[in-house]
Amino acid sequence: MLTSSFIFLPGVGPATERRWWEDGLLDWDLFLNHPSVPGLSPGRKQWYDGQLRAARHLVDSGQFHSVATQLPRREQWRLYDTCRSRAVYLDIETTGSTPGPDDVTVVGLHRNGTTVSLVQNENLTAERIQMELDQSDLLVTFFGSVFDVPYLQATFPTLRFPPLHFDLCFGARRLAMRGGLKHIERELGIDREATISNLDGFDAVQLWLAWRRGDAIARERLLTYNRADTENLVTLADRLYADLTARFGPSSFSSPLQPASSR
């Protein structure tokens, strides 16, 4: 989707981008290969050609961040396919209180098939979280732009997050899916282990309190619950990206404009 995106160009909004897709200009190369575009002056077309060639060079050399960060935040889902191999999926558990020094209990981070569980009073530090974040270009969460990220920033003020963020909650809402993570998982047929299938955030708080009282089984259930919250983001992100691309991308258009000389 990145190389089918035109809304980072100055003066190009969603309506213009969709019109170009409908006209068959499905990606940067098709735009560049066409000598003219209806509604664009020759000078504007030449200017956009220069912008797209520069963007293509950056993407081809792996320096896509300067292009990607020009996308509106709600459109950063378009980066998922480009960044998937360097995405980090994050979910946190808390005491249920307002953020304080000891109110983040578990941070789950999943990258490239491996999940790391960082636990309060064991291995949960700002430095350890930062080490995972620094190896990633794209953050993937569910409602994390509203909850997980602000909560972590309040608790660990020095944390630096990847510049790109795919918040699956808002991606799902664009597809008319409502409810929390577990509700949407059930709607899409994404399963959880039977031992944690009915747990929610309130239960996670109770499990933490039970663990603090010495219940080792509660510890394992809480970590299993957080791993499911974190790892299921991968499946959900894959599904939502495919559906968002089909609904809001150029994939439904396939007939490129023919050069004027061949019409």
Last residue of a domain, one of 34, 51, 71: 71
pLDDT score of 66: 84
pLDDT score of 19: 94
Tell me if 92 is assigned to some domain. Answer: yes
User: What three-state secondary structure class fits 208?
Assistant: helix
Tell me if 104 is assigned to some domain. Answer: yes
| 146 and 18 inside one domain | no
User: What three-state secondary structure class fits 64?
Assistant: coil
pLDDT score of 259: 39
Tell me if 260 is assigned to some domain. Answer: no
- Answer for the pair 233, 142: CB distance below 8 angstroms, yes or no: yes
State the alpha helices, DSSP H only, in the chain: 14-22, 28-33, 42-60, 65-68, 80-83, 126-133, 148-155, 168-174, 181-188, 201-212, 216-248
What are 16-60's pLDDT values in tens digits?
A: 999 999 999 999 999 999 999 999 999 999 999 999 999 999 999
| 143 and 234 inside one domain | yes
Q: Which residue has the tokens 């000389």?
A: 261
pLDDT score of 231: 97
Strand 164-167, strand 138-141: pairing? parallel
pLDDT score of 257: 40
CA distances (Å), 85 to each of 11, 46, 82, 112, in order? Answer: 32, 34, 8, 7
pLDDT score of 252: 57
pLDDT score of 262: 34
The domain of 10 spans 2-71
| 64 and 88 inside one domain | no
Q: How far apart are CA 18 and CA 243, in angstroms?
A: 17
Tell me if 254 is assigned to some domain. Answer: no
Along the chain (263 residues), what's the average pLDDT of each consecutive run of 10 residues?
95 95 95 95 97 94 86 93 94 94 95 96 96 96 97 96 96 96 94 91 96 94 97 97 93 47 33
Tell me if 64 is assigned to some domain. Answer: yes
pLDDT score of 63: 86
Q: For the sheet with 87-94, list strands across it.
A: 114-119, 104-111, 87-94, 138-141, 164-167
Last residue of a domain, one of 28, 51, 71: 71
Q: How far apart are CA 219 and CA 73, in angstroms?
A: 36
Question: Token pair for residue 210?
Answer: 């039970």
CB-CB neighbours of 227 under 10 Å: 19
CA-CA-CA-CA torsion sign (47, 50, 54, 55): positive
Q: Please tell me the total count of domains within the chain.
A: 2
| 87 and 144 inside one domain | yes
| 88 and 213 inside one domain | yes
pLDDT score of 253: 55
Q: How far apart are CA 90 and CA 92, in angstroms?
A: 7
Question: Token pair for residue 113?
Answer: 């098939």
| 186 and 87 inside one domain | yes
- Answer for the pair 2, 68: CB distance below 8 angstroms, yes or no: yes
